[in-house]
Amino acid sequence: MTAISRKLLPDTAAVGHDGMLEIGGCSVEELVEEYGTPLFVYDEAHLRARCREAVAAFGPDRVIYATKAFLCRAMARLAHDEGLLLDVATGGELHVALAAGVPASACTLHGNNKSGAELREAIEAEVRYIVVDSFDELDRLDVLAATGVGPTPRVVLRITPGVHAHTHEFIATGQDDSKFGFNLANGDALRAVDRARRSDSVELVGVHCHIGSNVFDASSFAKAAEVMADFAVPLDLPELILGGGLGVAYLENEEAPSIAQWGSVLLDACAALGVRSRVSVEPGRAIVAAAALTVYTVGTIKEIPDLRTYVAVDGGMSDNPRPVLYGSGYESFLPRALDAERELTVRLVGKHCESGDVLAFAAQVPSDIAVGDLLAMPVTGAYGHSMGSNYNKITRPPVVFVADGEHRLVVRRETYADLLATDLG
């Protein structure tokens, strides 16, 4: 296997004078000296470039960053500064966005099972709109209105268009058999529109769909846009939101459409079908995934002759759980040897107490990999840190943003004291 290709690395990745990988002008080795491992390193220029590409493709106030992909106050602020709105799916995500100073009017609330309390918080904060997911949620909004909670929320209805995205079953969300949204095929979608239009508790401003995540096939997006356009055009509502889901390349052999190409597919389909609504999208992964890499330290190498070599690092399923959840793959490389051939195949594992704790089932690494080496996994900016856990009472890793030779810690490493912060003895 050849050296890691640059297309999987953050935009500003380069080799420094000492041969060590640099991101944002900062040596990865020096970052590790300061912050330790495991460490999430985000390239701020890369994040901003993806935000700008999305705004250029869809227009200002038409790109809504799906915060569940990666959220901390610095990220919320960065996305907001770049002209993105924020999609939050829980009261907790809304809380972090507001704590970052992002106005509620720039936040949209999602979720298939929002509580009455979450709905009340969103209404009182005056979020931009609430994406309503079910008839039970419409009931809850009626109850809130009847008890005087206001002002009347603007709502968008999430429609399940019956389009099966070609992705992992757990992240396909547009098919008829889904917990999300109002089904188009069985008439629920139209019934929900009728009810919302007649209701005094909500102001209906649009419809929404999201067919799934990590979708590579532009035709799935075109299909969903067509189905949604057919449904939305006669309704003549101001907003049509076509979700997120644009895939990213994680592996050498993967190729994903760019944000600009995704924009053309969606906007062309809408134009062809006569959509007059504002068309917005909600990318998460495509904004943040390739902006970051996770740096680990190799601690144990176990060679079982004729069977397999295990390379264990100082994190694992608690910081990058996608391989365990979806069987996803990641590449890996040694930051000290960016251009080295990776001719050794190993199983890259973490330090958790189970055999399922795998980061890469068949990682390619240079054959001189040794205990004490730093090892980096690229394209770990989405659904890694945000899905992390404290399993085995691991302290979650810090997040550092790098740009123009400067680094700033935006999330510190957890401490043992944090592990006891909610434990009342």
Ligand X SMILES: *Cc1c(COP(=O)(O)O)cnc(C)c1O
Is residue 149 within the footprint of ligand X (CB under 6 A)? no
Nearer to ligand X, 120 or 210 (CB): 210
Least distance to ligand X from the beta carbon of 333, Å? 24
Nearer to ligand X, 243 or 350 (CB): 243
Select which of 26, 72, 209, 353 is catalytic.
353
Nearer to ligand X, 65 or 333 (CB): 65
Kindly tell me which residue out of 213, 220, 277, 328 binds ligand X, with binding defined by CB under 6 A.
213
Nearer to ligand X, 112 or 199 (CB): 112
Which residue, 45, 22, 54, is CA-closest to 290? 45
Is residue 69 within the footprint of ligand X (CB under 6 A)? yes
Residue 353 known to be catalytic: yes
Is residue 48 within the footprint of ligand X (CB under 6 A)? no
Is residue 174 within the footprint of ligand X (CB under 6 A)? no
Is residue 245 within the footprint of ligand X (CB under 6 A)? yes
Give Cα 346 distance to the centre of its chain. 28
Least distance to ligand X from the beta carbon of 111, Å? 9
- Among positions 278-307, residues that touch ligand X (CB under 6 A) are 282-286
Is residue 207 within the footprint of ligand X (CB under 6 A)? no
Least distance to ligand X from the beta carbon of 143, Å? 24
Nearer to ligand X, 245 or 398 (CB): 245
Least distance to ligand X from the beta carbon of 215, Å? 7
Nearer to ligand X, 245 or 321 (CB): 245
φ and ψ of 172, to 5 deg: -90, 125
- Among positions 101-120, residues that touch ligand X (CB under 6 A) are 110
Three state DSSP letters for the chain: CCCCCHHHCCCCCEECCCCCEEECCEEHHHHHHHHCCCEEEEEHHHHHHHHHHHHHHHCCCCEEEEHHHCCCHHHHHHHHHCCCEEEECCHHHHHHHHHCCCCHHHEEECCCCCCHHHHHHHHHHCCCEEEECCHHHHHHHHHHHHCCCCCCCEEEEEEECCCCCCCCHHHECCCCCCCCCEECCCCHHHHHHHHHHHCCCCEEEEEECCCECCECCHHHHHHHHHHHHHHHHHHCCCEEECCCCECCCCCCCCCCCCHHHHHHHHHHHHHHCCCCCEEEECCCHHHHHHHEEEEEEEEEEEEECCCEEEEEECCCCCCCCHHHHHCCCCCCECCCCCCCCCCEEEEEECCCCCCCCEEEEEEEECCCCCCCCEEEEECCCCCCHHHCCCHHHCCCCCEEEEECCEEEEEECCCCHHHHCCCCCC
Nearer to ligand X, 28 or 75 (CB): 75
Is residue 246 within the footprint of ligand X (CB under 6 A)? yes
Nearer to ligand X, 178 or 199 (CB): 178
Q: Are 44 and 402 in contact (CB under 8 A)?
A: yes
* Options 209-217, 268-276, 329-337, 395-403: segment touching ligand X (CB under 6 A): 209-217
Least distance to ligand X from the beta carbon of 248, Å? 9
* Options 42-50, 114-122, 243-251, 252-260: segment touching ligand X (CB under 6 A): 243-251
Least distance to ligand X from the beta carbon of 410, Å? 20
Contacts of 29 (CB under 8 A, 6+ apart): 18, 20, 335, 336, 374
Is residue 373 within the footprint of ligand X (CB under 6 A)? no
- In angstroms, rounded to a whole number, what is the distance separating the alpha carbons of residues 342 and 369? 10
* Options 92-100, 228-236, 237-245, 343-351: segment touching ligand X (CB under 6 A): 237-245
Least distance to ligand X from the beta carbon of 155, Å? 14
Q: Are 107 and 85 in contact (CB under 8 A)?
A: yes
Is residue 210 within the footprint of ligand X (CB under 6 A)? yes
Q: Total binding residues for ligand X by CB under 6 A?
A: 17
* Options 66-74, 252-260, 338-346, 364-372: segment touching ligand X (CB under 6 A): 66-74
Chain residues binding ligand X by CB under 6 A are: 66, 68-69, 87, 110, 210, 213-214, 243-246, 282-286
Q: Which residues are catalytic?
A: 353
